[in-house]
């Protein structure tokens, strides 16, 4: 199986040993504590599940600035984005303290992790501006990722952590949330060797489904891991439970047996386009995938990124820094000429009128009115789940 990033073995920071876990939970009750941001909580969950291998905790200021500027930590480890715990106020916490990190997303703010604080530092305004520009490609406050990144403070608390729970992800999505450890284990149990990963924060339309089939066939892969983001999204995105139900129905009806795994991970979307695409590739290498599909405007939002910037950024990744291979996909759509879904680059003789193309706004309008999009665009069984959601939403207004 493919090696994890920067390590011969996965490094999950969750404390699996029951006695140690119990002892840490008791200890945490008596420690100084701080409620962290939703983004930092997602990072703690990812650290716990092994997705951030080889990190041992939250980055310090120097590593955060280095990864933002050059995608390399101060020790030379390749990493595409800062993984930081930033707060408005350190509340007297200082280097050498042992503290409890509390979950902002669960009632009662339970302990997520115990941290050994190695440094408490401040980002300057110039530091924040540089990181924002480098990671998001813009400093526009209207960009949802930029707005979130700059809303949680400038005090960075760094150090190794021991993770004690997976926030709301395990309880809210028991059939879908999986750590990198669990996905690697299931890949091994299924006997898969060549594995394609597909990232989604949306329900999968017919074109997405066919893209997974195309990649599996082109790479002669054993299977596809459909890996959906379960964390916080921007306003207007479809909630994870609805996406989960729609994707599961599609896989059940339209994928051959033992060719697809439906899984999810606990992380807040950055909407950072190219940089987030590289982070997504790192996640998938750590969970055991050998290939990762990247299509048009991967992890993008609005018009902030070029259609294929999330593919060309991999030209900037040093050779050997990541072991996973990228399957570069073009926009996919149903061809009326050929009566099947195609990649647009493969049919240069087509015009726009030869494809079934619908905007997201138009699809949402149709679903809200109880009108199923054409079967060339969306499987009817998937459309039914989405129609029920949008009609319930409209009824509640």
Long-range contacts formed by 244-250: CB under 8 A, 24+ apart:
244/173, 244/175, 244/176, 245/385, 246/203, 246/204, 246/382, 246/385, 246/386, 247/200, 247/203, 247/204, 249/379, 249/381, 249/382, 249/385, 250/204, 250/209, 250/379, 250/381, 250/382
Active site residue 201: yes
Three-state SS string across 195-256, please?
Answer: EEEEEECCCCCHHHHHHHHHHHHHCCCCEEEEEEECCCCCCCCCCHHHHHHHHHHHHHHHCC
Active-site residue, from 98, 109, 190, 202: 202
Greatest alpha-carbon span in the chain: 69
Active site residue 379: no
Beta-strand ranges (E) seen in the chain are 32-35, 57-58, 86-87, 98-102, 111-116, 119-122, 155-163, 195-200, 223-229, 260-265, 291-294, 325-328, 332-335, 340-343, 355-356
Q: How far apart are CA 397 and CA 376, in angstroms?
A: 31
With contact defined as beta carbons under 8 Å apart, do 40 and 109 qualify?
no
Q: How far apart are CA 289 and CA 283, in angstroms?
A: 9
Q: What are the φ/ψ torsions at residue 333 (nearest 5 degrees)?
A: -160, 160
Active-site residue, from 190, 201, 248, 364: 201
State the catalytic residues.
Answer: 201-202
């Amino acid at each position: 199986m493919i090696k994890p990033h920067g390590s011969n073995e996965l490094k999950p920071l969750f404390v699996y040993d029951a006695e140690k876990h119990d002892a840490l939970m008791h200890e945490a009750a008596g420690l100084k504590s701080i409620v962290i941001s939703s983004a930092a909580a997602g990072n703690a969950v990812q650290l716990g599940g092994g997705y951030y291998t080889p990190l041992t905790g939250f980055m310090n200021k120097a590593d955060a600035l280095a990864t933002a500027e050059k995608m390399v930590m101060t020790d030379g480890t390749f990493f595409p984005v800062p993984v930081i715990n930033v707060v408005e106020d350190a509340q007297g916490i200082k280097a050498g303290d042992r503290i409890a990190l509390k979950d902002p997303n669960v009632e009662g703010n339970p302990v997520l992790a115990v941290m050994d604080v190695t440094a408490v530092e401040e980002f300057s305004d110039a530091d924040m501006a540089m990181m924002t520009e480098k990671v998001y490609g813009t400093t526009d406050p209207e960009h949802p990722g930029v707005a979130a990144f700059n809303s949680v403070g400038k005090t960075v608390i760094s150090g190794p952590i021991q993770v004690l729970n997976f926030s709301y992800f395990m309880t809210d999505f028991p059939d879908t949330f999986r750590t990198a450890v669990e996905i690697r284990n299931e890949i091994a149990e299924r006997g898969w060797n060549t594995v394609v990963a597909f990232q989604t924060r949306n329900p999968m339309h017919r074109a997405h489904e066919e893209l997974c089939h195309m990649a599996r066939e082109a790479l002669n892969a054993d299977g596809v891991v459909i890996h959906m983001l379960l964390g916080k999204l921007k306003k207007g995105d479809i909630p994870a439970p609805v996406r989960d139900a729609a994707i599961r129905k599609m896989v059940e009806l339209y994928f051959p047996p033992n060719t697809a795994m439906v899984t999810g991970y606990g992380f807040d979307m950055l909407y950072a386009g190219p940089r987030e695409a590289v982070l997504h590739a790192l996640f998938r290498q750590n969970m055991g995938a050998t290939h990762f599909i990247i299509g048009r405007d991967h992890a993008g939002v609005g018009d902030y990124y070029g259609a294929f910037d999330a593919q060309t950024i991999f030209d900037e990744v040093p050779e050997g820094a990541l072991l996973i291979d990228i399957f570069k996909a073009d926009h996919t759509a149903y061809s009326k000429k050929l009566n099947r879904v195609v990649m647009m680059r493969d049919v240069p003789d087509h015009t726009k009128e030869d494809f079934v193309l619908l905007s997201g706004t138009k699809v949402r309008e149709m679903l809200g009115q109880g009108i199923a999009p054409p079967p060339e665009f969306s499987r009817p069984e998937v459309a039914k789940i989405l129609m029920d959601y949008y009609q319930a939403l409209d009824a509640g207004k």
